[in-house]
Structure 1
């Protein structure tokens, strides 16, 4: 029998941010929903939520109806009254023909709102769509009088089943309150998988009752070198200050850390399930286990626990005590987390100690194992069988493909520099979740291209067949927290990038990017109301190193029309008392620091612009040039361009353009590109250099762009004054291992940017 839930609602004020003419629009691209629905058609007029409005729902949707009622109440302050008669109704309808559990239909007419779904998850997503159409007051609890919803007809479903976010709570710890806030934001944008990285070398964050020392000892540590970096950065950015609630004094030492009790985590799981988000726990094995090994040394092959060249000592897969420990751990984890999926990690394992172990030699001989990667997968395979026996499915990072892996394991692809890994996984029959470091590691610093790159990421490798492509079930963004010591910093790193990921995974229409960016501008108001320390949109017109010949007028704009730009010229950071930037005239070399400030006083990124005065460089008179640049390849790891070894290159070649040659996309190396650039006219040229890791560009023997330092793919820009003709060109590039990103663009005299044409590059014969 259908259960009726009725609601008498007081009036809200008109949604101030709503400016759509619903009577005129047929496509409604200006309705500020993210992710945008699969189809949306405008109707005529509005549905008014008023004192006569009722809410009707079958019992299977009572939870979702209650959440909609809660949103409405947040804006009125009045409890909902029962009524069975109304001509103004919000009606939840069950439709068994809707097979996708996350799909829904939303039909808003002047006298009714109908939410139709085949499962509670779909009904909940409809509620979140309505939430984005309601006034921002529903987020703040401000009590108002009237509200109206535009008449629309939406038919909506996700493009991908796995729409995930990952948070590492091991390197730096986050409160349960923050995790719930994180879940709330995920739900708002229809994300459905929360990958919680609970353990690593730096901390064990989950209570295991059979092994109490895991949290008694493993949850706490003294400050490390990554903490020191954060402390230095805090001098200019308060987001790097530690959350003091995670710092304690014990035995005369200052310790950082914390852990979650099983009760806390069970409560968190229920909280997420109420919003149709599945929490996937990760207990990383066999590597990244230093925190556990410190407490229980028997876990290694030799009872030692140390760092190797890159990674820590792993647990030993050749002792039955290791498997007993792992099964005990996961048994308790499964009692906390009902998720079908359990993440075992399996990444970055330093296997060298295994090769020295007599126990491992004996096991490999007995089991016919011929390599250390296969020995690792002996461990993974045994654990997968244990997971399967409990009705769970194993997920591992893509390193598990280095040995023999069953086709039933799920693969999480992260190593951008191993592009064939997801292809091999799909060819092996494994389901794949795409999380490549570029562009989906949200702990990497954002720049002006980050949102674009996330939005235009295609999870499906081009080389897959149609059937194999079905094994790519979605994607997620990862947040590793070595350099994220506070909840405010975590907010900043994932928002608003997550909105681009949400739309890519739900809507999957890359040609709607302009519409998305326009809708995103309106979303910032809601994020601020939710107390999200989001990264403000990049200021328009920022160039790191600017040039003037006689003078320049600096005009910088924020995409947020409610923000103002303030600046300093004395080296100090701009604050709310700094002067406003309005047509600032530059006629002498100087350094300007500037930032945008919202109406609430929230400061965005601080930009540093260095101005220099130049006379346009004269062209070179060079005879006998040929197309392309000369390039020298240097083997080895170099910590920045200044560390490239002196002397001749290990090999040389001619390249038609600035790119990382496909033949050397492996390991660490450096490339020096030299030659000339044939510019077509006099002017001030701006160059935009994106690289992972280091790059320094010089034009006309003048350093133009400095993007040095070991970092992920970020863009830096600079200007140089040139006369028409051949100008000396030099670019030093360092790849530390993993990114393989190098891109050069230009603009002239403030025009639109473009890739540097190949025809411009020349070298001496």
Structure 2
């Protein structure tokens, strides 16, 4: 079970963060001291760039661009001056490369840094202190900055976001918009996943068919799902700009020319964002193999689990790889090249005579070491070009060189970061359980990201230095549009921004500061996910009547609802007062902003129930009976026809150690010893699927294979023993299982162990 860790801020920090919301900065600075008064920027204000600050020319231009849209024209620039000036100051005493000092008084603004990256971070802090209207170039005669003293620097050197442009293609303009958002929140790495089975997105001049053929496809199963979902949610519609007709076929895709990519790289560099290219090898190469079949060991297509990989036993493969990476290395100035090296279907290697001969010649005992052989050869090539290799943590399985950088993603292999650190590897944390932003968000997502422990437990102080930082990944199998991408990563991206930058954290303060950022995101045209409505559950019950009275997280939200099964839209009825419910009904509701942005659609089922009568059982023992199955199930119903592996008694709703396997199912059986009659709400978080029944009534249906999401329901229970059936499945890849309850609107809490009983077998 994944356990959340709560970070407590010091009282001084808590006071500083909550004292004045006019300093609503995300991420929060290392030190912020509020001051009296404000500084007014108008056409008489000068930007001062002394001779010794000439290295900040780009940052001065960025500041001019930020201000001129609202003020009508650029501010005049000077070499010196004090009153009514914004001074960009070189300060050799600032140690951190991205560190800066910011002083705002009624007379002057001073941005001080030693390196251009630090000065740029200072400009972004200034940007967040200015009104959100500057993002739309709204004409204003003056701009107001609150007086403040800030000293700031990042906690981690790797503060990254990843975007998969292979499954679905994104335009150059959108990449620039994404880079602007990264810069605003002080991220410094953009990991671009440029190739995969579904598409090759970067021009390689020596192998033109990689983009002529590999960048295009007929609609696949992911596209079909998106097209079906788009009937109710337009965010799932495929971008028509990437659909073309060729030789009588509808083709979908696109790619970046090298010239286009140079422009994107330059744009990112000006904003101190390093772009790390990923060309995924040896697996996930179907798009390349279809264009150049010589790359395989003789077979192509799909294996048991993943696509057939390129063949590491043919010298022609290495010639291809080195030619491709030579062009990538010439194109991308990043010190890193990401090789991927994940999810490799190695069956064709094991069956290849050539691979058997190579393994014997090189003393390789299995195909895992054969993959390491491929990785070592590519790493040697990268190093000869002055580059560092990054790969996903599967690289560790066959052994890797200590100079490789490991990107940890498999949450179900928790010792991988420790193993890498002890091997001398640097590590970037990107655990799928928390930082895979393609996973559906729910009301717990931001909390989970904010409480990420970047340095995992079990590392010594020396080993902890191997952790470079963290990044979130956006895999786009089911993210076909720019709007859908923004919905998935924003605003939880802002939580990660604070995790990897700020020295200390205060979650409640962050939530308050985040509220002001929605206006800025509106101004920037970001299609973010609205914060969740609360005050209800998915399945609601009543004995006589009940009311629906949702809690709005933002005052400007308009709640609209339907009762005829249709999706709420801007013309649906407004829920502006409590809705009394006396008959069974299904209500669909969603929040809208005045600008028309729509939040999550909630489907609420209301049904009438009598209090379930307790059962009579004279002999019970503490805990629940746990019956487990070490098999793969797509839904909990599969366990009904399966043969149990074993059973045991558990004291709480948790997976017994005996059941843990890559894939498994568990059935919990017994009673809840309910202390008083009432309507109880249950909140069931699981990854993958689960179903909860109490008193032979369906309470929560969270079934199927999915990431960790919460679903909820109510049940009317009389005091006494009530039968409970909880089914849970894990499809492989790490699990989450958590059951909470609430009564009379109280804060949800874990079901007490004292409530859990099972019937004692009579001899």
Q: Provide the rounded CA distance (Å) in 1 between the counterparts of 2:661 and 2:22.
A: 45
Give the stretch that moved more between structures: 122-131 or 143-152. Answer: 143-152
Report 1:622-661 matches (<5 A): 622-646=617-641, 648-661=643-656
* 1:536 and 1:604 in contact (8 A); partners too: yes
* 1:552 and 1:585 in contact (8 A); partners too: yes
> Which residue of structure 2 aligns with residue 5 of structure 1?
none
- In the alignment, does 2:440 pair up with 1:448? no
* 2:202 and 2:257 in contact (8 A); partners too: yes
Report 1:198-347 matches (<5 A): 198-302=194-298, 304-347=299-342
User: Relative to structure 1, is the Cα distance of residues 161 and 82 closer, same or farther in structure 2, using a 3 angstrom cutoff?
Assistant: closer
Counterpart among 677, 690, 694 of residue 699 in structure 1:
694
* 1:74 and 1:137 in contact (8 A); partners too: no
Report 1:8-157 matches (<5 A): 28=20, 31-57=23-49, 58-83=53-78, 85=81, 87-157=83-153
- In the alignment, does 2:168 pair up with 1:172? yes
Q: CA deviation at 1:666?
A: 2.6
Counterpart among 442, 446, 456 of residue 461 in structure 1:
456
Report 1:381-396 matches (<5 A): 381-396=376-391
* 2:630 and 2:661 in contact (8 A); partners too: no
Q: Provide the rounded CA distance (Å) in 2 between the counterparts of 1:26 and 1:596.
A: 27
> Which residue of structure 2 aligns with residue 6 of structure 1?
none
* 2:64 and 2:74 in contact (8 A); partners too: no
- In the alignment, does 2:733 pair up with 1:738? yes
Q: Provide the rounded CA distance (Å) in 2 between the counterparts of 1:577 and 1:716.
A: 28
- Unpaired stretches in structure 2, ≥5 consecutive residues: 1-14
Q: CA deviation at 1:603?
A: 1.3
Q: Provide the rounded CA distance (Å) in 1 between the counterparts of 2:658 and 2:500.
A: 33
Q: Deviations over 1:77-104 (max 9, x none)?
A: 1232345555111111111221211111
1:478 match: secondary structure: strand
> Which residue of structure 1 aligns with residue 537 of structure 2?
543
Report 1:504-515 matches (<5 A): 504-510=499-505, 512-515=506-509
Counterpart among 564, 571, 581 of residue 565 in structure 2:
571
> Which residue of structure 2 aligns with residue 11 of structure 1?
none
Structure 1 runs (4+) deviating above 6 angstroms are 23-26
Counterpart among 368, 375, 378 of residue 373 in structure 1:
368
Q: CA deviation at 1:29?
A: 5.7
Q: Deviations over 1:6-50 (max 9, x none)?
A: xxxxxxxxxxxxxxxxx9999546521100111100111111112
- In the alignment, does 2:705 pair up with 1:713? no
Q: Provide the rounded CA distance (Å) in 2 between the counterparts of 1:123 and 1:81.
A: 19
Counterpart among 720, 724, 744 of residue 719 in structure 2:
724
- In the alignment, does 2:342 pair up with 1:350? no
User: Relative to structure 1, is the Cα distance of residues 328 and 25 closer, same or farther in structure 2, using a 3 angstrom cutoff?
Assistant: closer
Q: Provide the rounded CA distance (Å) in 1 between the counterparts of 2:613 and 2:332.
A: 68
Q: Provide the rounded CA distance (Å) in 1 between the counterparts of 2:98 and 2:661.
A: 41
2:134 match: secondary structure: helix
Q: Provide the rounded CA distance (Å) in 1 between the counterparts of 2:77 and 2:121.
A: 25
Q: CA deviation at 1:485?
A: 0.7
Provide the alpha-carbon RMSD of the alignment. Answer: 1.4
Q: Deviations over 1:574-606 (max 9, x none)?
A: 111111112111000010000001011111111
User: Relative to structure 1, is the Cα distance of residues 82 and 346 closer, same or farther in structure 2, using a 3 angstrom cutoff?
Assistant: closer
Q: Provide the rounded CA distance (Å) in 2 between the counterparts of 1:415 and 1:542.
A: 34
> Which residue of structure 1 aligns with residue 522 of structure 2?
528
Q: CA deviation at 1:137?
A: 1.8
Q: Deviations over 1:345-403 (max 9, x none)?
A: 00000111111111111111111111110100000001001101111000000001000
- Unpaired stretches in structure 1, ≥5 consecutive residues: 1-22
1:160 match: secondary structure: coil
Q: CA deviation at 1:508?
A: 4.6
Q: Provide the rounded CA distance (Å) in 1 between the counterparts of 2:415 and 2:454.
A: 13
Q: Provide the rounded CA distance (Å) in 1 between the counterparts of 2:551 and 2:353.
A: 66
Give the stretch that moved more between structures: 287-296 or 637-646. Answer: 637-646
Q: CA deviation at 1:69?
A: 1.4
Q: Provide the rounded CA distance (Å) in 2 between the counterparts of 1:577 and 1:222.
A: 37
Q: Provide the rounded CA distance (Å) in 1 between the counterparts of 2:23 and 2:582.
A: 45
Normalising by structure 1, report the TM-score. Answer: 0.95
User: Relative to structure 1, is the Cα distance of residues 589 and 63 closer, same or farther in structure 2, using a 3 angstrom cutoff?
Assistant: same
> Which residue of structure 2 aligns with residue 3 of structure 1?
none
Q: Deviations over 1:425-481 (max 9, x none)?
A: 111111000111111000000000000000000011110110000101101000000
- In the alignment, does 2:684 pair up with 1:689? yes
Q: CA deviation at 1:51?
A: 3.1
Q: Deviations over 1:503-556 (max 9, x none)?
A: 11111534x000001111111110011010000000021311011110011101
- In the alignment, does 2:444 pair up with 1:475? no
- In the alignment, does 2:589 pair up with 1:597? no
* 1:680 and 1:724 in contact (8 A); partners too: yes
> Which residue of structure 1 aligns with residue 750 of structure 2?
755
Normalising by structure 2, report the TM-score. Answer: 0.96
* 1:630 and 1:763 in contact (8 A); partners too: yes
* 1:712 and 1:739 in contact (8 A); partners too: no
User: Relative to structure 1, is the Cα distance of residues 591 and 380 closer, same or farther in structure 2, using a 3 angstrom cutoff?
Assistant: same
> Which residue of structure 2 aligns with residue 486 of structure 1?
481
User: Relative to structure 1, is the Cα distance of residues 743 and 443 closer, same or farther in structure 2, using a 3 angstrom cutoff?
Assistant: same
* 1:27 and 1:40 in contact (8 A); partners too: no
* 1:665 and 1:740 in contact (8 A); partners too: no
Q: CA deviation at 1:241?
A: 0.6
Give the stretch that moved more between structures: 47-56 or 306-315. Answer: 47-56
User: Relative to structure 1, is the Cα distance of residues 508 and 547 closer, same or farther in structure 2, using a 3 angstrom cutoff?
Assistant: farther
Q: CA deviation at 1:251?
A: 0.5
Q: CA deviation at 1:52?
A: 2.5
Q: Provide the rounded CA distance (Å) in 2 between the counterparts of 1:30 and 1:671.
A: 50
1:622 match: secondary structure: coil
Give the stretch that moved more between structures: 181-190 or 83-92. Answer: 83-92
Q: Provide the rounded CA distance (Å) in 1 between the counterparts of 2:271 and 2:140.
A: 26
Q: Provide the rounded CA distance (Å) in 1 between the counterparts of 2:617 and 2:18.
A: 60
Give the stretch that moved more between structures: 462-471 or 135-144. Answer: 135-144
* 1:416 and 1:738 in contact (8 A); partners too: yes
Q: Which has the higher contact order (CA 8 A, sep 6+)?
A: 2
Q: CA deviation at 1:282?
A: 0.1
Give the stretch that moved more between structures: 356-365 or 497-506. Answer: 356-365
User: Relative to structure 1, is the Cα distance of residues 24 and 343 closer, same or farther in structure 2, using a 3 angstrom cutoff?
Assistant: closer
